[in-house]
Amino acid sequence: MNSDSSSSNGIFDKLKPAFEAIAANRYVSAIRDGFIACMPIIIFSSIFMMVAYVPNAWGFYWPTKVTNIILIAYNYSMGLLALFVAGTTAKNLTDSKNLDLPKTNQVNPVSVIVASEIAFIILSIIPLKTGNDLTYMGTQGLICAYIVGLIVPNIYYICIKNNVTIKLPPQVPQNISQTFKDLIPMASAVTVFWLFSVGFKAATGTILPRWIIQVLSPLFQASDSYIGLSIIAGAMAFFWFCGVQGPSIVQPAVVPIMIANTATNLQQYQAGVHASHVLAMNTMDYVMNFGGTGSTFVVAFIMLFAARSAQLKAVGKAAFIPGSFSVNEPVLFGMPIIMNPMFFVPFLLTPIVNICMFKFFVTVLGMNSFMFTMPWTVPAPIGILISSSFAPLSFVYVLLALVVDVLIYFPFIRTYDNTLLAQEKAKENEMTDENVVTDTVDNSEASQAQVAMSSDNSGDSASNKTQDYFKNNEVDVLVLCAGGGTSGILANALNKLSKKEDLKLSATARAYGQDMDLIQDMDMVILAPQMESMKGNLKKITDKYGVKLVTTTGRQYIALTNDGDKALNFVESNL
């Protein structure tokens, strides 16, 4: 068994660098981070959609005039999503390209955002006799938005790197000089897309976003099949099992499909017909990743109530609350599941079974699929009910998924638990010496008590020394993880202790790719182990601003999230 385990881990070790390279690719990162930046738009707009249509589940319908008023915020936020994504994608790629340029000759991100949005508008608006058709400014224009957002920064980069700009004398104020410096790159980018738009429309008779949707429609349909859904769910779990955050690789490829399907589902629901597309926005969050990648919602509860080994009981106690909100790193690193051959089968199989059951409920039984987008941290059972507008069959699906997931995971957890229990008992037996006389034990205990007191005093002294450091020095710490979940727990642990002890330490948390401009104002950045693949990219940024970058191992990171004192010592020791 040990040889099998080591050979399996060897295979995963060989695959990991390739997966990390994909996740860290600057173009994949720009798409992912550009989408993350627009997530508040999606969630914000969904609130208005739920206000307008969730009451329908209980037979209440707003008057048409009221519904139209409620939907104004949705139409001018989600309805222009692709326009915003073009800008945020371009901005993130620009930040990455600027790392390759001298600090004195950088691409202006604001100018790139503006140029990208102008170029996207040129490609996507359909002129009408009275006004314009904005259909492809929303969810159906996302793929086109990504294309624009990845090309415009490169046009700027070429111009700036080769000094193809209008240069003014040094006496001219910098803000005026920057305006002229941006003129040629902006004109070049907009002109390229204007000429392309004219030529493309003449050749095809349609606009680029509509053409893309038509060409990729077979892919949209294939992604909604049992095989397509299984590949997406299995790929995320497989990448994560190898130690690379799976959704960061898979999500950029399928986000346009998920968003378009969610919008279509809502239109179907509004029309009084079946919301039929399975692969919607929250399908990944609540069905494939039911409680986190690998569908681990039930795992912490199984350990909490059924485990007999001390290790799994401890992990269960620490993991069941975060796991309920889809923060499953305590399970992934605490058991561990990642690169543990014992859990390879259930970790891949459970998400696939969950999505296939969901597909059956939607396609065969007629349950409405997801039409709203909720935050990924909403507990999956609740999220499934809300996103499907409380479809009656969704209650049945949630109960069935819980039962099936327990049946899949339980045998593997029980086997692993028995192995750990045997190891713990063997260790206890080695430490037991039945031949030691009572008075020797008493003396030993007394000696141990003295040592413990001395150790405690030493620990208190070290702790006081650490706290003294933060009472005299202002320190700002940024914690980055995949979705902002565990990083938030660690930041809260630091801030809670800092407030209690009146320290000058401030910690904040973000999802990787979100508000990365914060880094320049930090003293330290702690990178969670699930984002290890982004270490190289992040180091370029932290080096640029002279910020300390610190990485952690899986179990170490989880321990820090649960202990403010340990986290404080960790920060101090790395400074």
DSSP 79-133: GGHHHHHHHHHHHHHHHHHHTTS-TTS---HHHHHHHHHHHHHHHH-EEETTEEE
149 neighbors 119 (Cβ within 8 angstroms): no
470 closest CA partner among 516, 498, 504 = 504
Alpha-carbon gap, residue 45 to 114, rounded angstroms: 23
Residue 242: active-site member: no
546, containing H or E segment: none
Q: List Cβ neighbours of 542 (8 Å cut-off, separation of 6 or more).
A: 519, 525, 548, 549
- Cα 481 off chain centre by: 8
Q: List Cβ neighbours of 230 (8 Å cut-off, separation of 6 or more).
A: 352, 355, 356
Strands 524-527 and 126-128: unpaired
557 neighbors 329 (Cβ within 8 angstroms): yes
Alpha-carbon gap, residue 353 to 481, rounded angstroms: 28
- Kindly report the number of other CB atoms within 10 A of residue 147's CB atom: 19
**DSSP tag of 482:** S
Q: At what angle do helices 142-161 and 81-98 cross, to 10 degrees?
A: 30
Q: Residue ranges of the alpha helices (H) in 432-534?
A: 438-472, 485-500
Instruction: Output the CA torsion 292→296→297→302 (10° steps).
Output: -160
Of 38, 144, 242, 481, the catalytic one is 481
- Could you give the maximum distance between any two Cα atoms of the chain, in Å? 101
Q: Please list the residues that pair with 550 across neighbouring strands.
A: 526
Q: List Cβ neighbours of 318 (8 Å cut-off, separation of 6 or more).
A: 330, 334, 558, 562
φ/ψ of residue 511, rounded to 5? -75, 145
Count the residues in the chain: 575
Residue type, 118: I
247 closest CA partner among 292, 297, 299, 298 = 292
Alpha-carbon gap, residue 315 to 489, rounded angstroms: 16
DSSP 344-384: HHHHHHHHHHHHHHHHHHHHTS------S---TTS-HHHHH
304 closest CA partner among 292, 293, 296, 312 = 312
Q: Which residues are catalytic?
A: 481
